[in-house]
Chains A and B, each alone.
Chain A
Amino acid sequence: MSQFDPVLRDEIIAAIPNLRAFAISLSGNVDRADDLVQETLLRAFANINSFRTGTNLPAWLFTILRNLFRSEYRKRRREVPDSDGAFAATLTTNPDQNTHLDFEDFRTALDKLPSDQREALVLVGASGFSYEEAAEICQCAVGTIKSRVNRARKRLGELLAIEDAGDFGPDKTTQAIMTASDRL
């Protein structure tokens, strides 16, 4: 009955890398993230008839993944990532040392955010969804997403500013200026 439309299949495949990245940001664990993606795919196939062609497939898949995470994965406590962290564990590039230090700071700060803020920030700031799409995925008001993203950015800014001013002092300031001028 539910013959699988090859176009839809290709679109689902195309969405998998993004689903993984989102799942890692939710679960904090690569293996669990991949299990989550697998369950999402199974669920999507089982319910493919409820997907209306022409609507937003990635948003639909992200919604399934998020619901799965909320319903079963969230019962368990979010695992404390290993010292290397989930994202770091997936790093394939080899950034230079200064950049790597920055990464460490950032990852630590990101882990300190409440999960609803982190997910909103990732959806809008990395997955490339609009506020409206993110609201649809999280099943909340657009204004709620906006305020979560703003609070996440503000909190990250505070955390990173402290680390900038603290541990690494002038070195980091110099570095920040160089990075900034690099961008011009």
Chain B
Amino acid sequence: MNDERSGGQAGSAEALTSTPLPGHAGTALGNDIQAKIGQHLRAMYDDVVRQGVPDRFLDLLSQLDKPATKAQSGEDGGEK
């Protein structure tokens, strides 16, 4: 869960990259560039997404969560 790189998104990037942004009719060159724009945009974005959730946010959330789970010992692992 704390593994920042594991993301679980590994397969999705490839499927997304070849789809041009919708609704832009134009020349073949225009379309090619638009497809490239879509690819780069998603590649940049997905690269951040794949980094997962940095620990600082998980720490913050468990702190925020504490008042609500005061009775619970240990972490929210698996209740049987």
Footprint of B on A, CB under 8 Å?
A: 3-4, 6, 9, 12-13, 16-18, 20-21, 24-25, 34, 37-38, 41-42, 45, 87, 90-93, 102-103, 106-107, 110, 121-122, 124-127, 149-150, 153, 156-157, 160-161, 164, 176, 179-180, 183
Contact = CB atoms under 8 A, between A and B. Distances in A.
Interface string B48-76: 11111110111011001100100000001
A124 B45 CA distance: 12
Nearest to B44: A87
> Which of A18, A37, A126, A176 has most chain B Cβ within 10 Å?
A126
A13 B41 contact: no
A92 B51 contact: yes
Contact of A125 (B9, B38, B51, B56): B38
Contacts of A176: 32, 36
A24 B5 CA distance: 18
Given A16-B57, A176-B32, A103 B40 contact: yes
B65 A161 contact: no
Contacts of A24: 48
Contact of B42 (A18, A125, A150, A164): A125
Contacts of B60: 38, 41-42
> Which of B30, B41, B48, B65 has most chain A Cβ within 10 Å?
B48
Contacts, number: 111
> Which of A20, A153, A161, A179 has most chain B Cβ within 10 Å?
A153
Contact of A17 (B23, B32, B48, B68): B48
A102 B41 contact: no
A38 B41 CA distance: 24
A106 B56 CA distance: 30
Given A13-B53, A16-B57, A180-B32, A21 B38 contact: no
Contact of A13 (B32, B40, B58, B68): B58
B7 A91 contact: no
A37 B47 contact: no
B47 A12 contact: no
Contacts of B23: 150
B15 interface: no
B41 A126 contact: yes
B37 A157 contact: yes
Given A16-B57, A21-B45, A90 B34 contact: no
A179 B53 CA distance: 33
